[in-house]
């Protein structure tokens, strides 16, 4: 990330969750010099940026195991914030216990249902009973206030650090590679000039016109101009079933000639086209060659 976009805005990055959550961990990695502020829900985190009490919001958009975060796709059209960066965070679950407690002492463990599912076989092998809870980090926080040495939690290494817990097993998930993609929202996009040495992602919202083959025609410009469509999501918005809205991620920058031509065609066949942001592709994409 570049230097602070607006020096009058507090150096705060807002996130949804409890201290020690994976969103909190992502904030610390991307913005190590910023204060991370926990919010009760996604809308509150976004509102902090809209009102100027935070500069950025760190928002999870999709997970390689659980899929897209449905609520975010409903919130994005309602905010005027822009995507200024993306971050891929590997989800490395840790089995946590009270200080001095060893692995063989643990009989029950609590965490978010998704985390428990991702650790199912390890828990089954160890004959540990899973107890569903609202949040991974909250499970760690509750454990720190417990006196039951046979109980544990599955959460991040940051949660262990914050709540004084012992990590009895790292990378406790059954399958490696589970990753969450976050987007960073801000009021204004960075003024950094386009750099042709970098790879970019451009995110767009649009609605197709009510004509035959509208989506096919709207996307045709990307094919004919050689622009790679990385992701296409459809969803309903506004409480009706009259029109589908689309979120599309493209490989490229709006200043590139091919993208200019492709966006011209999109604007002709679609309506309510909105550029959510254009930002450098995260190193995770480059490493795994999907940009």
C-beta of residue 205 within 8 angstroms of C-beta of residue 245: yes
Residue 197: is it exposed, middle or buried by C-beta count within 10 angstroms (0-12/13-18/19+)?
A: exposed
Distance between CA atoms of 126 and 97, rounded to whole angstroms?
15
Strands (E), the chain: 12-16, 35-39, 56-63, 67-68, 82-90, 94-97, 108-111, 129-132, 151-155, 166-169, 179-186, 200-208, 228-236, 244-251, 270-280
User: Residue 254 carries which DSSP code?
Assistant: T
Is residue 125 annotated as part of the catalytic site, yes or no? no
**Which one from 31, 42, 172, 180 is the annotated catalytic residue?**
180
C-beta of residue 37 within 8 angstroms of C-beta of residue 13: yes
Report CA torsion sign: 112, 115, 116, 122: negative
Is residue 182 annotated as part of the catalytic site, yes or no? yes
Report CA torsion sign: 118, 120, 126, 132: positive
- Pair of tokens at residue 73: 């796709």
**Which one from 31, 42, 172, 182 is the annotated catalytic residue?**
182
- Pair of tokens at residue 153: 């939690």
Residues in the chain: 291
Q: What's the start-to-end Cα distance of the chain, in Å?
A: 19
- 108-111/129-132 β-pairing: parallel
Catalytic center residues: 180, 182
């Amino acid at each position: 990330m570049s230097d602070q976009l607006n020096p009058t805005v507090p150096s705060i990055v807002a996130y949804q969750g409890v201290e020690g959550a994976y969103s909190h961990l992502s904030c610390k990695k991307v913005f190590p010099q910023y204060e991370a502020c926990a919010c009760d829900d996604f809308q509150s985190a976004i509102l902090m940026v809209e009102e100027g009490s935070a500069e950025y919001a760190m928002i999870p958009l999709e997970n390689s195991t659980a899929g897209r975060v449905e609520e975010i796709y409903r919130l994005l059209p309602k905010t005027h914030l822009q995507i200024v960066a993306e971050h891929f965070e590997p989800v490395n679950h840790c089995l946590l216990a009270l200080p001095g407690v060893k692995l063989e002492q643990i009989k029950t463990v609590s965490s978010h249902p998704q985390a428990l599912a991702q650790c199912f076989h390890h828990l089954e092998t160890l004959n540990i009973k899973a107890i569903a809870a609202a949040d991974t980090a909250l499970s760690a926080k509750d454990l720190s206030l417990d006196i039951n040495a046979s109980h544990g939690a599955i959460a991040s290494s940051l949660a262990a650090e914050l709540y004084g817990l012992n990590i009895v097993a790292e990378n406790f998930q059954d399958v490696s590679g589970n990753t969450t993609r976050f987007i960073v929202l801000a009021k204004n996009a960075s003024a950094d000039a386009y750099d042709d040495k970098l790879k970019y992602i451009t995110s767009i919202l649009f609605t197709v016109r009510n004509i035959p083959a509208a989506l096919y025609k709207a996307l045709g410009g990307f094919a004919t101009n050689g622009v790679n469509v990385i992701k296409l999501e459809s969803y309903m918005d506004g409480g009706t079933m009259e029109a589908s809205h689309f979120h599309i991620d493209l490989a490229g920058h709006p200043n590139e000639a091919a993208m200019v031509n492709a966006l011209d065609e999109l604007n002709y066949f679609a309506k309510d086209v909105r550029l959510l942001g254009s930002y450098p592709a995260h190193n995770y994409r480059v490493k795994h060659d999907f940009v």
